Amino acid sequence: MSLARPEERGTAAMLTRPRLHELDRQDPLAAVRERFALPEGVLYLDGNSLGPASKAMSGRIGEVVAVEWGGDLIRAWNRRGWFRLPERVGARIAPLLGLASDEVVAADSVSLNLFKLLSALLRRAADRRVVLAERSNFPTDLYIAEGLVGMLRDLASGEGPELRLVGAEEFLGSLGPDVAVATLTQVDFRTGRKRDLRRVTRAARDHGVPVVWDLSHSAGAFALDLRADGVEFAVGCGYKYLNGGPGAPGFLAVVRERQEELRPGLAGWMGHAEPFRFETGYRPGAGMRRFVTGTPPVLSMAALEEGLRVFESLDLGALRRKGEALGDLFIRLVDQRLSGFGVSVASPRRAAARGSQVSLRHGDGFAVMQALIARGVIGDFREPDLLRFGFAPLTVRYVDLWDAVEALRDVLASGEFREERHRRRAAVT
Amino acid sequence: MSLARPEERGTAAMLTRPRLHELDRQDPLAAVRERFALPEGVLYLDGNSLGPASKAMSGRIGEVVAVEWGGDLIRAWNRRGWFRLPERVGARIAPLLGLASDEVVAADSVSLNLFKLLSALLRRAADRRVVLAERSNFPTDLYIAEGLVGMLRDLASGEGPELRLVGAEEFLGSLGPDVAVATLTQVDFRTGRKRDLRRVTRAARDHGVPVVWDLSHSAGAFALDLRADGVEFAVGCGYKYLNGGPGAPGFLAVVRERQEELRPGLAGWMGHAEPFRFETGYRPGAGMRRFVTGTPPVLSMAALEEGLRVFESLDLGALRRKGEALGDLFIRLVDQRLSGFGVSVASPRRAAARGSQVSLRHGDGFAVMQALIARGVIGDFREPDLLRFGFAPLTVRYVDLWDAVEALRDVLASGEFREERHRRRAAVT
C-alpha cells in the first residue's frame, strides 16, 4: 500500500499531517466512514470499547419500535422473523470469522456464551478436570470460569473440577492430559497483544485440549479465518468493532462437526427443538439453536443486525491492512512527537502481533486520559497506567492519529493533566 | 365497584354492550390506556405474551440511540447512568412486587435469572439434593432446572442432584427434608390458575424449602406483596404486563436478608464488587449487584424502563380490581353468548384464583384462533385446545370483551374456522 513509498521506508522519515491526509484521500474504506453518525468535536478512539452508531441506526430502531413491535405486536415474531434473529445475526457475523452461516448465533452476552461452551466442553471431557486460563485474560472470562468451577466443586460430592490460572508464557507448557478445556482471548484488552490462533489451537489439540477463543477484540477489527486456523469454539462481543450498540448481544461459534456433541448447561425454551410444543423435557435444537436460551432482546438484537450491515460486501483485506497501518503510524508518531514526555509503547510494535489498538504507558495515565477526553479525544484508561487507543478501521482516519498525538503532546507539555490529577484526589478525599 | 349494582348480582343478569361501555366511562384506569400506541383495527388480548408499546416509547428509544449512544458514545455509561440500569429498572419493578427498591434488579432473561437462583440455593442447601418443580410449569423453567441438574450430575463424581417433577396436586405433599429448592410459577400460562403465594411459601418454609417464584404472568397484571407473603426469591418477565418490549430483560428479586448468602453460579464482570479494577478473582458485588452478569443490553433495558413509567403513581388496587372484573365479565359473556358452540371455560371462575387471563377450550382451538386473528381479535393458542385471552388492565377496555366474544361467536356460528383448519392441513401435507 501507499505507506511503502521510498521516502517512508526508513524509520527516520518524519510523518506530517498533510501526508496522513493524503492517506485518507487514498483510503478504500473512507466511504464507509460516511455511514457513521459521529458527533462533532470528538475524535473517537474508543470503538474497541463501544462502537459508534451508523446513520441508518436511528431509522431502523425506530421502525422496529413503531412498526414491528408497535404495529404488529405479537405477530411480529413470525411476520418480522424475530424467532430467527439469533441465526440471522449470526449469519452476518460468520463471514467476519471465516465460518459458514450456520456456525454462529448471536445470544445473551460474551460471559454467558463462554459459560455455555466451557460447561459443555467440560461435560464432554470425561475424566479430564482442569479448566485452563491465562491470568491476564479479560476478567469476566475468568469470573465465568471461576463461577462454573466453584459451583461444581460445591455441588459435586467428590472432587470437582479445577480452574488453573497461568501466566501467558506458561500457557503452552500447561497443556496436558488433565486439561479438559482452555480459554484464551486472542487480543489482550490491556496491551493489544494478539495471539496466533492457529499455532495455539494446534498445540492444544496435540494435547487433546479444545480451546474456546474470546474474539471480543478481534471480530470486525480484522478478518479472521477460524476454519483454516482449526478453531472450533469461539465467543465474542457485539458492541465493540461490530458496532451493535451498548450491551449488544454476544456471539457464539461452533464448527458444524462439533455442534451436536455439545450440551450447554444453560437450557432455555428458545433453544428447544420445538419450543411451541411446550414439552416437559428439553430436547436441544438442531445445530447452533441449542445455544440460544431465553427470549432474545429484540431491540438490542436488531441494533446489532443493523450495525453489521456496514460490513456487507466489505473488503476484509482492506480492513486488516488499514488496522495495521493505523497502529504502525500511531506508534511512529508517538516515537517522533512524544519522546521525553514519559510515555512508552505498551503494545507490540509488530503489526502482526497486535490487534487494532495501541496502548501507551504513563505514570499519570488516568489524569492524562481525563485531560485528553476534556479536549474531545476519547480513548480510555486501564489500571494501573495504560492509555488505550482503539483504531476501528471503519471510522478512524489517518489524520486522526496526528491530531490525537498532538493533543496528547499538548496535554503532557502543558502539564494540564496535573490539574485532573488534583481534581481526582479532591473528589476522592 | 360499579359491578355490584343490584340488577347485576344475579348470574342471570344479561350484560349488554352499552353497560360495558358505561364501565369504561367510569374506569379510573381509562386515561392510562391513552398512553399506549395501539394499532387501528386491532383488539389486542395478548398483552400477556407481549405488552404493547407506549406512545412515549419511540421518542425515548430514539433518544437513547441518537443522543446517548450516538452523541455521548462511551461516556454515556457514566453520563447517562447506564451502569446503574439494572438497579434503576429494578427499583421501578419493586413497588409492583411489594419489595424495596434494593431488592430487585433487571438482568438477562427469566430463564437465566432462574438458573442463578436455583444454583445459588442448591449450593446453600448442604445435603439436600432435590430440585422440586411442577410438571405443568412453564417449560423454560423446567428446562433450566433440567439443564442445571443434568450438568451437575454429569460433572459430579458421586451422586449429583435430582430434578423431581410432580403434578400440581402433589406439590405440597412432595416437600420434605431432601428438597433443596422448589420452583413454581404463580399464574399458570395455560389456564391462568393463580396460586396462593403466602400459603405455598409458608408450607414450603415449614419443610425448610425455599421457593423461587416465577412471576412472569403476575408482575404488572395485579399488585403483589411479596414481603407480606413471606416470598424471598422471585424471577419474572419484562415483556408481558410490564410492557418492556420484545425480549425485554427479566427481573430477579431477593429479599435483603437473603442477598449476601447467595453465590450464583453465573459470575460476570458486571456483578463484580469493582468491575473496573479488573481483578483476577471474583468478588460478588453488594446486594443485588451480584446477580448481574455480563454487560446489559442497554436499548432493551431502556425500553423496559420506559414501559415501567406508565406504572408510576398508579393505583395498584384499581389494577387488581379491573383485572378481576375483566375476567369475571368475560366469563359471564362466554356463558351468555357462546353456549352450544362447543366452548368451555378452562380458567378458574373465581377471580381470586385466576390471573389476568381467561382460557377457553375448543376442539378446533387453533383454527378458531386463526380465524379470530384474521378478524383483528388477537389472542393466542396453546396446545392442545386452548384459546388464551389476556386482559392487561392498562390497555383492555370493558367493551373489548363484548366485541371479542361477538367475534368469537361469529367465527363459531359461521364455521369460517373450518376453512382455517383445512388451510392448515393443506399447508402441512
* Residues B281, A148: C-beta atoms closer than 8 Å: no
pLDDT range class, residue A427, cuts 50, 70, 90: low
Instruction: Say how many CB pairs under 8 Å bridge A and B.
Output: 302
Nearest to B294 among A140, A154, A272 (CB): A140
Which alpha helices (DSSP H) does B156-210 contain, by range? 197-206
What pLDDT score was predicted for residue A8? 46
Mapped onto helix, strand or coil, the DSSP state of residue B207 is coil
| Of A202, A206, A207, A225, the residue nearest A215 (C-alpha) | A225
Mapped onto helix, strand or coil, the DSSP state of residue B345 is strand
pLDDT tens per residue, range B40-86: 999 999 999 999 999 999 999 999 999 999 999 999 999 999 999 99
- Cross-strand partners of A189: none
Q: Check CB contact of B306 with chain A, cutoff 8 Å.
A: no
pLDDT tens per residue, range A363-396: 999 999 999 999 999 999 998 999 999 999 999 9
B239 is catalytic: yes
Ordered DSSP codes for A329-359: HHHHHHHHH-TTTT-EE-S-SSGGGB-SEEE
Query: Over 50: is that where the pLDDT of B428 sits?
Result: no
pLDDT range class, residue B119, cuts 50, 70, 90: very high
User: Looking up cell 455441588, which residue turns up?
Assistant: A155
Any idea how long chain A is? 429
Q: What is the ipTM of this complex?
A: 0.95
Cβ–Cβ under 8 Å, residues A138 and A170: no
* Residues B112, A154: C-beta atoms closer than 8 Å: no
Shortest Cα distance from A185 to chain B (angstroms)?
A: 14
pLDDT range class, residue A313, cuts 50, 70, 90: confident
Q: Check CB contact of B67 with chain A, cutoff 8 Å.
A: no
The distance of Cα B198 from the centroid of its chain, to the nearest Å, equals 18
In chain A the domains, ranked by start, together with CATH numbers, are 2-54+315-428 (3.90.1150.10), 58-309 (3.40.640.10)
Torsion B374-B375-B381-B384 (CA) sign: negative
Shortest Cα distance from B329 to chain A (angstroms)?
A: 24
Which residues in chain B touch residue A304, judged by CB atoms under 8 angstroms apart? none
What pLDDT score was predicted for residue B409? 98
pLDDT tens per residue, range B272-321: 999 999 999 999 999 999 999 999 999 999 999 999 999 998 999 999 99
Within B158-232, strands assigned E span 162-166, 179-185, 211-214
Best of A38, A54, A155 to substitute, by most chain B Cβ atoms within 10 angstroms, is: A155
What pLDDT score was predicted for residue B421? 72
Q: Check CB contact of A192 with chain B, cutoff 8 Å.
A: no
| Of B124, B127, B129, B125, the residue nearest B163 (C-alpha) | B129
Q: Can you tell me the distance from the alpha carbon of A285 to that of B425, in angstroms, rounded to the nearest whole number? A: 25
The residue-averaged pLDDT of B365-382 equals: 96
The radius of gyration of chain B's CA atoms, rounded to the nearest angstrom, is: 23
Q: Check CB contact of A42 with chain B, cutoff 8 Å.
A: yes
B178 is catalytic: no
What pLDDT score was predicted for residue B416? 85
Query: Over 70: is that where the pLDDT of B8 sits?
Result: no
Nearest to A299 among B42, B156, B245 (CB): B245
Nearest to B299 among A76, A263, A300 (CB): A300
The distance of Cα B12 from the centroid of its chain, to the nearest Å, equals 34
pLDDT range class, residue B198, cuts 50, 70, 90: very high
Determine how many CB atoms are found less than 10 A away from the CB of residue B9.
10
Shortest Cα distance from B6 to chain A (angstroms)?
A: 39
Nearest to A62 among B58, B119, B279 (CB): B58
DSSP B147: H
Which residues in chain B touch residue A298, judged by CB atoms under 8 angstroms apart? 245-247, 300
CA angle B397-B403-B408, nearest 5°?
130
pLDDT tens per residue, range A79-129: 999 999 999 999 999 999 999 999 999 999 999 999 999 999 999 997 899
The one-letter amino acid code at B355 reads G
* Residues A50, B57: C-beta atoms closer than 8 Å: no
B309 is catalytic: no
Active site residues of A: 138, 214, 239-240, 388
Torsion A410-A414-A420-A425 (CA) sign: positive
